Chains A and B, each alone.
Chain A
């Protein structure tokens, strides 16, 4: 097991190295470049050239890349043009908010999606199956920001059931240990804060969950259908095992393996979805900051955040791979 983890970790090095080259080539050398992004449209050619020099863009490419890499390794991703604070610091202060939102969305998606997909497969061809499949197709085709807006107008503004913006109600005081509002609240025993934070997470969480939910429903359904047709399920039933045992030990255990992988892969799309959801609900996380950065063309923030998110994504998938090998011994054997 340890060898498996070490091997996977070593394999990350070329992936991350390649990722940095890819981002460097794409983002540093995009048409336009910082001299267009940062300067007003009427800037002179001389001003543009000077800015290019100050960014080191006139140096040979290899020199630029090595400098870029050195800074990345030292954790220096530049300074935000909006706030004049280091990009890494901006990322770290906003990460807990988005993390809580993403976990909420994933929990909703798994808690609803897996049972729904299972039931749809068991009752294949029924009205429930039709509704589950149709609903998930609809979910994939609905723009996330529109869903977020509808939820906000109906449940926050019209019905007043949930707050419409931010992580906590104004005036709510809390002891800040780590930036994770819910976790901190549980550790310090401030349960009014926990409840308030959960209320604020509900609507953006549901909006963000829509796409992973749709994918998980369809994936679980397809996977359960496949497993139900396997010989070992027939054998298990034939030798008189209780239906509940067959369901949990034989069907679900095998059917959920691809779903575990999907959860890891969907995490990447959660960060993209967070840009849309967070900006609708003024949720102070990574997504709304990226949105602000797109509006002001905050060059260092955009490049830095996408690199950090891609790295995060690679690590999440490493965790998924490891948990997968724990669930399925055959993966370890290869």
Chain B
């Protein structure tokens, strides 16, 4: 075999399940984006055989412990989670009370920087910036987690149905799989952020809208991923054994194939959290975020602070750094997990 120019070719030259190719063949435009996702799905499925004795997750964990990328990511994520979960205990003041309102005059360029009582200074309305940042972490976590769960939930339902139908459903099952995957492939053709912007703009700005819009945009990725993983599990001996023993089909799908297929989906969830945080910030910047001023949110804070960027750049820099560092933490962790699970990168 000469080279492997694309993941699509890779899956065709190797022993990928035939259903994967069938769908890609019919939707060539989206086939490669799809194949990239399938590739991740496949990797999980193939690993186990080469690893005698040790479980997939145990070896992956062992490798992640030695990876500086994984450690950095895990530390950043841990700090973020602690701050977000315990934010009411950490924040010294109310994030919304304009306690020092008499000291800040944005129209005269009078701002208050860091000082003993306000660690990060005051915002443009005389509120404690540190408290706002800390409470904001909670909003960011909420948006990230709910959006990811929406993407995961709907995507897994679609992908799981398609995968189970394709593996166990015979002829009609493959037809169901075809129809579902065609819809998923079309969803992949829509730029995710643009889709989120459109949904949020049409439904109207609210916290729920942001979470739904960002989550819906992630659905096709999760669906594609879980289906691919289930297909690669479907040809395994243990599935054949379960069928031979007369285990009911829905039980094979739910109790045997599904648990073994969740690996790549969990990796993707970590990466999606980063995307969701950045996309939510973008929606807030466009004025489509949570309009309720009682809940400070990093994206909204960043968008608001841009009016004062030349006189008080710190007001924009704090939330921007928080978004970047948090997203970086999740990305590093997710990438490290993916590398740890990829047999090609093991040496």
Tell me whether chain B's interface is mostly helix, strand or loop, or mixed.
helix
Which residue on chain B has the smallest CB distance to residue A223?
A: B5
Q: Are A27 and B202 in contact (CB under 8 A)?
A: yes
Q: Are A30 and B197 in contact (CB under 8 A)?
A: no
Chain B interface residue count, Cβ-Cβ cutoff 8 angstroms: 60
Q: Shortest Cβ distance from A203 into chain B, in angstroms?
A: 15
Partner pick for B29 among A157, A272, A276, A321, CB 8 A cutoff: A321
A232 at the B interface (CB under 8 A): yes
Closest CB-CB distance, B260 to chain A, in whole Å? 27
A290 to B192, CA, bound (A): 15
Specify which chain A residues have a CB less than 8 angstroms from the CB of B230 in the assembled complex. none
A271: chain B residues within 8 A (beta carbon): 191, 194
User: Is A22 an interface residue, CB under 8 A from the partner?
Assistant: yes
B12 touches A22 (CB 8 A): no
Known: A32-B204, A232-B2. A141 touches B198 (CB 8 A): no
Cβ of B286 and Cβ of A276 under 8 Å apart? yes
Q: Does B33 contact A (CB under 8 A)?
A: yes
Q: Is B141 part of the contact surface with A, judged by Cβ < 8 Å?
A: no
Q: How far is the CB of A149 from chain B (nearest CB, A)?
A: 6
Q: Which of A275-334 contact B (CB under 8 A)?
A: 275-276, 279, 290-291, 293-295, 297, 299, 302-303, 306, 309-310, 313-314, 317-318, 321, 328, 330-331, 334
Interface pair B327/A141, CB less than 8 Å apart: yes
Complex CA distance for A37 and B327, rounded to whole angstroms = 33
A11-B27, A143-B282, A153-B309 are contacts. A19–B316 as well, Cβ < 8 Å?
no
| CB-defined contacts of A123 to chain B, threshold 8 Å | none
Q: Mark B282-323, 1 if CB is under 8 A from A, else 0.
A: 100111100000000001001100100110010010001001
Cβ contacts under 8 Å, A146 to chain B: 302, 316, 320, 323
Measured in the bound complex, the distance between the Cα atoms of B316 and A226 in whole Å is 41
Enumerate B166-207 residues with CB–CB distance to A below 8 Å. Answer: 182-183, 185-187, 189-195, 197-204
- In the bound complex, residues from chain A placing their C-beta under 8 Å from that of B332 are 137
Cα A12 to Cα B278 with chains together (Å): 32
A230 at interface, CB cutoff 8 A: yes
- The 0/1 profile, CB within 8 Å of B marked 1, for residues 226-255 of chain A is 110010100000000000000000000010
B29 in contact with A226 (CB, 8 Å): no
A31 proximal to B (CB < 8 A):
yes
Q: Does A14 contact B (CB under 8 A)?
A: yes
Q: In whole angstroms, how far apart are the Cα atoms of A28 and B225 in the complex?
A: 29
A140 to B331, CA, bound (A): 9
Contact count A vs B, C-beta below 8 Å: 166
A18 within 8 A of B: yes
> Looking at the complex, which one of A8, A143, A153 makes contact with B302 (CB distance below 8 Å)?
A143
Stretch at the interface among A56-64, A91-99, A261-269: A261-269
Report if B247 contacts A (CB, 8 A): no
- Measured as residues with beta carbon below 8 angstroms from the partner, the interface class of chain A is 35 or more
Verify if B107 is at the interface (C-beta below 8 Å from A).
no
In the bound complex, residues from chain B placing their C-beta under 8 Å from that of A303 are 198
Of A15, A31, A149, A297, the contact of B189 (CB 8 Å cutoff): A15
Contact B193 A30 (CB under 8 A): no
Given known pairs A254-B5, A299-B202, the reply for A149 and B306 (CB within 8 Å) is: yes
Docked CA distance A268–B9 (Å): 23
Supposing A275-B197, A299-B202, A309-B191 touch, asked if A149 and B5 sit within 8 A by C-beta, the answer is no
Task: Decide if B251 is an interface residue (CB 8 Å cutoff).
Answer: no
The residue in chain A whose Cβ has the minimal distance to the Cβ of B332 is A137
- Assess the B3–A291 pair: CB atoms within 8 A: no
* 8 Å CB interface, A12-36 against B: 12, 14-15, 18-19, 22, 26-27, 30-32, 36
Contacts of B200 in A (CB 8 A): 294
Q: How far apart are B175's CB and chain A's nearest CB, in angstroms? A: 15
Q: Is the CB of A290 within 8 A of B197?
A: yes
Q: Chain B residues near A108: list those with CB within 8 A.
A: none
B274 on interface, CB distance cutoff 8 Å: yes
A118 close to B (CB within 8 Å): no
Are the C-beta atoms of B3 and A254 separated by less than 8 Å? Answer: yes
> Which residues on A sit within 8 Å (CB–CB) of B282?
143-145, 276
Is residue A138 contacting chain B, with contact meaning CB distance below 8 A?
Answer: yes
Question: When the two chains form their complex, are residues B195 and A306 in contact, meaning their CB atoms are under 8 A apart?
Answer: yes
Contacts of B25 in A (CB 8 A): 334
Whether A272 contacts B189 in the complex (CB less than 8 A), given A8-B28, A30-B199, A318-B29, comes out as no
Tell yes or no: B94 within 8 A of A by CB.
Answer: no
Contacts of A182 in B (CB 8 A): none
Rounded to whole angstroms, the CA-CA distance of A313 and B192 in the bound complex is 12
Interface 0/1 of A59-79, CB less than 8 Å to B: 000000000000000000000
The closest CB in chain B to the CB of A7 belongs to B28
Cross-chain contact of B32 among A226, A261, A279 (Cβ < 8 A): A261
Contact with A314, one of B29, B299, B303, B331 (Cβ below 8 angstroms) = B29
Do A226 and B4 touch (CB < 8 A)? Answer: yes
Of the candidates B4, B28, B33, B185, the one whose C-beta lies within 8 Å of that of A265 is: B33
Q: Does A258 contact B (CB under 8 A)?
A: yes
B6:A261 contact, CB within 8 angstroms:
yes
- B242 interface residue per 8 A CB criterion: no
Contact B203 A32 (CB under 8 A): yes
The 5 closest A-B pairs by CB, nearest first: A257-B5, A272-B193, A294-B201, A141-B327, A268-B191
Could you list some 27 contacts between A and B, CB below 8 A? A8-B28, A12-B29, A15-B27, A22-B183, A30-B203, A137-B331, A138-B328, A226-B3, A227-B3, A276-B286, A279-B286, A291-B286, A294-B286, A294-B287, A294-B288, A295-B287, A297-B202, A303-B198, A306-B194, A310-B189, A310-B191, A313-B191, A314-B29, A321-B28, A321-B29, A328-B5, A330-B5
Assuming A15-B29, A275-B197, A293-B201, what are 19 further A-B pairs, CB within 8 angstroms?
A138-B324, A142-B320, A143-B282, A143-B285, A146-B323, A157-B310, A227-B3, A232-B2, A265-B32, A271-B194, A275-B286, A276-B282, A290-B194, A294-B286, A302-B198, A306-B194, A306-B198, A310-B190, A310-B191
